[in-house]
Amino acid sequence: MKYLHLIWAALFRRKTRTLLTLVSIITAFLLFGMLDAVRTAFDSGSKSVVGVDRLITASRYSIIQSLPQALQSRIAGVPGVRDVAYANWFGGIYQDPKNFVFSYAVSPNYLDVYPEIQLTPEQRKAFDNTRTGVVIGPVLAKKYGWKVGDKIPLQSTIFPQKNGDKTWQFDIVGIYSVGKGAANGVDQLFLLHWKYFDEANLYARHEMGWYIDQLADPNAADSVAKAIDTISANSDHETKTQTEQAFSASFAKQLGDIGLIVTAIMGAVFFTLILLTGNTMAQAVRERTSELAVLKTIGFSSHGVLGMVLAESVLLLALGGAIGLGIASVLAPAVSKGSGGMVNLPPVGAASWAIGVGLMVLIGLVVGALPAMRAMRLNIVDALAGR
């Protein structure tokens, strides 16, 4: 630390070049922080501790292929299954195509197998007794200013009614709260009655999108899943039953392997950053050849000069990286808030900071290694002679 003033002075010897390099480093680590928040958001459903007693049974071939209603009673008869609910994707738009609503048509017992979705007894009774009734998450209520008693027109992106009209009318009868540990996105759902949807829609009569199987013993998940899939083996509606966490992960991967995408983008960004900062450090050391020779002349060892150049490189990365991750820490919650909750980016956590700091040190050492070795091997006479 006693040579920090020398390292700092050397770092800002060419202020314009250093500041431009810092902007590049800040941008790279800002991207890292935001993309890592996206990856964490997609992974949250697969890591939720809630729902360990639930299996999801869907088509073996595609989530968009529906299953027959008759499967419910047969799944319910499998030993180890305590209850069976079902749901169907509805998909809806409110007033403007930009206002996409995550909406599902659900069975009467759907809320029983999802205790993290919490309604007051009065609202639950109203939902059970209102054919066109819906319950919504707090994020939707806040985003659109909806309240209990409102009539909401929602345009389905897939399912028209029997008269050909794609606009469905719903009555908000409840705004649920979300229990601790629920997966990301549970607070912004729009839940309607499957029976109303089934009777009024033009297509997909008496068919389900997927079944939710509540287990009596979560430890028996594998054996129960195999027994459920055996029911439809070799039929035209073969099923794939898996834990809710695995289902959420596979559903997210239909958009792409987020982890792989993030890794590929950041690999390209950091590779470019290494080239840029490596060139900056090489120029900085080359310009200070005579100064480094003077340091050796007055008593600095070769390894001391090596350490100072490496420290300069790491300090450059640490400054830019810390600022970039700091901006990402502020920006991620701001993006979530500005989207009304439709984009739920978690804050940049300790794990992301730890990885970021590791990258700062690693990249700093990599880009500083060659210039530092050159400085260490510097011959005093040749350097002062300008050779």
For the chain, 387 residues long, the average pLDDT of each consecutive 10-residue run is: 71 84 92 82 56 88 85 93 93 87 93 93 95 93 92 89 89 92 82 93 83 92 93 90 77 58 83 87 77 72 79 90 91 68 66 90 89 76 60
Q: What is the DSSP letter of 91?
A: -
What's the confidence (pLDDT) of residue 345? 67
What are the distances in angstroms from CA 311 to CA 6, 89, 201, 380?
A: 11, 56, 67, 22
What is the per-residue DSSP string for 47-60?
A: H-STTTTEEEEEES
Residues 6 or more apart in contact with residue 68 via CB below 8 angstroms: 206, 207, 208, 237
Question: What residues pair up with 83 in beta bridges, in sequence order?
Answer: 214
What's the confidence (pLDDT) of residue 73? 92
What's the confidence (pLDDT) of residue 72? 92
What's the confidence (pLDDT) of residue 201? 86
Among positive and negative, which fits the CA dihedral 64, 69, 72, 75? negative
What's the confidence (pLDDT) of residue 376? 76
Radius of gyration of the chain measured on its C-alpha atoms: 29
Q: Is 241 in contact with 55 (CB distance < 8 Å)?
A: yes
Q: Vertex 100, ends 95 and 102: CA angle to 5°?
A: 125
d(CA 122, CA 134): 14
What's the confidence (pLDDT) of residue 257? 57
